[in-house]
Amino acid sequence: MRMRKKRHREERLERAGERWIKQPETFRGHWSEAFGNDNPIHVEIGSGKGQFIAQMAQRYPDTNFIAIDVIPDVILMGLELTKDKDYPNLRFIIADAARLEEYFAPAEVERIYLNFSDPWKKKKQAKRRLTHANFLNVYNKVLKKGGYIWFKTDNRALFEFSLNSFCENGFKLSNISLDLHNSDFTENVMTEYEQKFSQQGMPIYRLEATYRGYKELD
């Protein structure tokens, strides 16, 4: 269902101040200027309402976090969720994942989070999945060598597709879980969707994919 445009959206975005990066391409290669430090950069693609990225920013103050979503109203929700606390290491941008190279220089990102991405269930929609080779080819250009993609989903078909996609395109997999909440992984931070699915007793699938150095993917 299409999200209704929020009233006075542009004015509300502007009120977010420095947390909203209106022109992220201007910081390509020197995001340290946006944060005032040289700490590692972690990026969440498809940030939802912002609960995950906000908790991560609070838990890891020595890491810089950037929330990305292509839908302006989604970014606005994240900005307004975080407006009453100090988040010096958190920024939000309205951007398309396919254009990450316009916003980040090669090897500028240490980690990418893909949380409960749209599974695009129809076979003909496979190229839209954020773990399709087309997107992996973009990620591996901005990730540092040895950088990670942390991926979570409730959709078994998407998880199986992603396992194959990562393996076929040169990523090393680790910490694979078919039931995250009953695993021994202790660093999990839940998203809004994850809380909902967990309450319904649905298993959560998770993996970490390590980038092993730049190569052009097929």
pLDDT tens digits, residue range 164-206?
Answer: 999 999 899 999 999 999 999 999 999 988 998 888 889 999 9
34 band by pLDDT with thresholds 50, 70 and 90: very high
pLDDT value for 45:
98
Which amino acid makes up residue 170? G
Q: 216: number of CA atoms within 13 Å, CB side?
A: 1
6 band by pLDDT with thresholds 50, 70 and 90: confident
Tell me the three state secondary structure of residue 22. coil
Alpha helices in 82-179, H assignment, sequence order: 100-103, 133-142, 156-168
pLDDT value for 40:
98
The one catalytic residue among 118, 154, 179, 218 = 118
Superfamily name with CATH number, domain 41-210: Vaccinia Virus protein VP39 (3.40.50.150)
The reply to whether 118 belongs to the active site is yes
Q: What letter would DSSP give residue 131?
A: T
Mean pLDDT of the chain: 92
pLDDT value for 1:
42
